[in-house]
Amino acid sequence: MPLKSTRIILVPVIALCLAVSVAACSSPPTREEVEAQYGGAALKLIPDGRIFSNDLAADGPVSVRGAWLLDGILLVEYADGGLLALDRLTLAPMWNFTGMNGPMEFPPALTSVSVLAVSDGMLYEIDRRYGNQLSVNPLGFVPSAGPAGTDSTGYVPALASVNGNRTISTINLANGTEGWGRATRGSITVRPLVGGTSGRPVLYVATASGAVFAFPAEPAASSAPEPHWSSMVHGRIEHQPVLDDDLLLVSSERGDLWALDRITGGPVWVNYSGERVLAKAWPAGDQVYFVNEAGYHALSREDGRLLWSYGGPARFLCRRGDTVYPMTSPGQIAAMDTASGDVLRTVEFPEDTIFIGNTTDHIFYFLTPDGLVVAVDKKID
């Protein structure tokens, strides 16, 4: 997989030629023209931004399957399963990993020392700084969602069976042995989460029966721990819970969005939307964004009050000050006022553009399927 140093490009706001079919053009656009076209569309959406980019295809063609923002890493997966890690603040290449047999079965997870990925029934542990393979461990069961982990242990979920099998199992990342496990009420079909301090990590697990558990994230070699707490929400949990400081945000198929105290499990607030929630919640600043069958909504993070709604499906991408940017349809990005929800402007990108959600800060990220990575940061004063 090619590695290429990043370069900064500053471009004017121009029309997005890619919306016009190639057949209508006299010749296909050059790579420089494509960069300018995408950068122009991004600056039309975010006029006060600064564009920087990295063309992963500069040394040969690539095909991007997906991309994720994991703390300081922008992780790109190629169609053949190769992983490329970019520094999220510069888009400079960090490492390239080609040791998996094929594509990942689930999105990857991050620990303080490694990236965890499941491919072809194996749990891979990849050093997050240099991209070296630290371990590869066969799974003796079929995982039902992506893993979570600590420095020493992988936590992998599974479906429940009539025999009461483990729905969460632990893997010793040092030697690959299976450690303690627990059978929970209902299958686990969403990724577990590890939070808390490094000295006292907590494993958060949500099940299809609506149960939420907080277990001590004990190493695989320990005995199975008792939960710190367990709570029930109304309805099946179909989307990954989200940790946001002191809150654990959990949505249910009934349309309820719960903010649980992550220490006690008690409800801090509940928003009863009445419509089936379609994706995980996205907390950003003083608001929480979620989408259900009735549309895209902004809630007060403090008490769960509905602040405004947009009458259509949308997916949160990032927030910059008093403007939030969701994808309102494939390739269409809107800029919305965070106080009123008013749409300030919309910009069309090609429908196959890969957009990456970012709740960490204000940077807006997207990729093309053939490897152009673009970020929009603040202008340098």
Reduced to 3 states (helix: H, G, I; strand: E, B; else coil), residue 36 is: helix
Distance CA 150, CA 32 (A): 42
pTM: 0.89
Distance CA 99, CA 124 (A): 9
* Side-by-side strand order, sheet with 201-206: 193-196, 201-206, 211-216, 229-232
Distance CA 214, CA 359 (A): 23
The one-digit pLDDT tens for each residue of the chain (381 residues) are 444 444 444 444 334 444 444 444 467 788 888 888 999 999 999 999 999 999 999 989 999 999 999 998 999 999 999 999 999 999 999 999 999 989 999 999 999 999 999 999 999 999 999 999 999 999 989 999 999 999 999 999 999 887 778 999 999 999 999 999 999 988 999 999 999 876 899 999 999 999 999 999 999 999 999 999 999 998 889 999 999 999 999 998 888 899 999 999 999 999 988 788 889 999 999 999 999 999 999 999 999 999 999 998 899 999 999 999 999 999 999 999 999 999 999 999 999 999 999 999 999 999 999 999 999 998 765
Tell me what pLDDT residue 277 has. 87
Tell me what pLDDT residue 253 has. 86
Distance CA 54, CA 300 (A): 36
Distance CA 128, CA 370 (A): 24
Structural contact between residues 34 and 57, judged by C-beta atoms closer than 8 angstroms:
no
Tokens 């888009």 belong to residue: 91
Reduced to 3 states (helix: H, G, I; strand: E, B; else coil), residue 30 is: coil
The DSSP annotation for 148-164 comes to EE-SSEEEEEB---TT-
Structural contact between residues 230 and 265, judged by C-beta atoms closer than 8 angstroms:
yes
Nearest to 150 by CA among 203, 79, 85, 94: 203
Round to the nearest angstrom and report the end-to-end CA distance of the chain: 36
Tell me what pLDDT residue 25 has. 47
* Side-by-side strand order, sheet with 282-284: 282-284, 287-292, 295-300, 306-310
**Angle at CA 340, nearest 5°, toward 334 and 343?**
20
Tell me what pLDDT residue 378 has. 86
Distance CA 116, CA 134 (A): 10
> E strand or H helix at 85, and its extent?
strand 83-87
Distance CA 95, CA 92 (A): 10
Domain annotation for the chain: domains and CATH numbers: 1-94+354-381 (no CATH), 99-232 (2.130.10.10)
Distance CA 124, CA 120 (A): 10
